[in-house]
Amino acid sequence: MLGAILISYVMSLALYFASYRSRNVVTALGGNSGNFFYDFWIGRELNPRTGFLDWKFFCELRPGLIGWSILNWSFVAQSLAVGTFTPSIFCVALFETLYVLDGLLLEVGNLTMMDIVTDGFGFMLCFGDLTWVPFIYTLQTKYLVHHPVVLSPVYLGLCTALVVLGYTIFRGANTQKDIFRTNPKDPRVAHLKVMKTSAGKSLITSGYWGVCRHPNYVGDWLMALGWASFTGVGGYICYFHPIYFGILLIHRQFRDEEHMLAKYGEKDWKRFCQEVPARLIPYVY
């Protein structure tokens, strides 16, 4: 972990100073403030590259996600070695690995994420990708090595159902959006209701995206809650992940909507909000 933290600092500093190599460098929207500390944090250059290698896209999907899975299965192996293996630790490692595989195999969909499109590649993303994800997201499996939790088949089934529900919403919403962006006339999305904007763009107002404005975030959070649930009620430290992740997603939802307001204009955005009033949870938020 210490090594990952040091690499995060070194890489962030190198990327910051490298962003001044040319006047033609494409800077992030908020990363060129002139304040060293803020620009270092948010990232000055939008997509730093070395030849064909896009450092931000690489770090977003490779070291952190793969490291997350490797550490998870290392903890599973440790539990087998010390005699604390339970179905709970196996389920957490399995479902989190499937989530990682989803991100790696369907990586094209990540190109529209705010991290890629608008944020620079600074310490925030470096630390998040290289340190936070592999070492914080493995809290559940690490906890279960030292505090094995034997859950009833019914409880295991409920936790599994929560993860499956979350993944269904997460993948269904993202797939629907990606197909629509690629080909709105595709039979899988042609039936969806849309709202035409004055800029000529179309916003989906039915299907997953008619239930709330950010259904993919809802599915993502339900999966995080499901993973933590496999630790039972005693592993309260393991619920840090869904709590933190929920706060992060709400913050990201606000940033998304600010971006959409600027992109489509106040009139069209207000009209869209009337069509789809729920941000995340219908009739609640």
| Structure confidence at residue 134 (pLDDT) | 94
3-class secondary-structure state, position 53: strand
| Structure confidence at residue 222 (pLDDT) | 98
Mean pLDDT of 149-176: 96
Read off the pLDDT of residues 32-81 as tens digits, 9 standing for 90 and up: 788 889 889 989 888 898 888 989 889 988 899 999 999 999 999 999 99
3-class secondary-structure state, position 85: coil
Mean pLDDT of 104-108: 87
Domain ranges of the chain: 1-148, 151-284
Contact 85, 145 (CB under 8 A): no
Integer Cα distance of 185 and 201 in angstroms: 14
Angle of the 215-229 helix axis to the 87-105 helix axis, nearest 10: 150
| Structure confidence at residue 113 (pLDDT) | 78
CA dihedral 129, 28, 219, 5 (to 10 degrees): 20
